[in-house]
C-alpha cells in the first residue's frame, strides 16, 4: 500500500481504485493548470500575429480537456468564444 494514502480499504480492488483515483487526480490537476497558464499567456498577448498563432493551440487544448471531462464542454465553448473575440479585437 502507498505510504501517503492512509486509507482503510479492505478489498484489493478498492485499494487499486484508490491508487487509480489518486493518479488521475494528479494528472487532471496538471492538465487543468497547464490550460490555465496557456489561457493567461494568450490573454496577456499584445501582438496580434503571435496571438493568432497561439489561438488554435489553446482551442485544441480546451477541446481535449472538454472531451476528457476535465472541464465542462460549455465552459470550453465560452472560453474559446471569449479568446477568439479577444484575439480579433487586437489591433
Q: Sorting pLDDT into bands at 50, 70 and 90, what band is 5?
A: low
Which pairs from 32-38 meet CB under 8 Å and 24+ separation?
Answer: 32/65, 32/70, 32/71, 34/61, 35/61, 35/62, 35/65, 35/71
Q: Which domains does the chain have, with CATH numbers?
A: 12-89 (1.20.58.110)
Task: Enter the pTM of the model.
Answer: 0.78
The model's pLDDT over 30-68, given as tens digits with 9 standing for 90+, comes to 999 999 999 999 999 999 999 999 999 999 999 999 999
Amino acid at each position: 500500500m502507498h505510504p501517503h494514502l492512509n486509507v482503510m480499504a479492505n478489498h484489493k480492488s478498492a485499494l487499486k481504485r484508490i491508487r487509480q483515483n489518486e493518479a488521475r487526480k494528479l494528472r487532471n490537476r496538471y492538465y487543468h493548470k497547464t490550460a490555465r497558464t496557456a489561457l493567461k499567456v494568450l490573454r496577456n498577448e499584445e501582438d496580434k500575429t503571435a496571438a493568432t498563432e497561439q489561438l488554435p493551440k489553446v482551442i485544441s487544448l480546451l477541446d481535449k480537456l472538454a472531451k476528457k471531462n476535465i472541464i465542462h464542454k460549455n465552459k470550453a465553448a465560452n472560453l474559446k468564444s471569449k479568446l477568439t473575440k479577444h484575439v480579433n479585437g487586437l489591433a
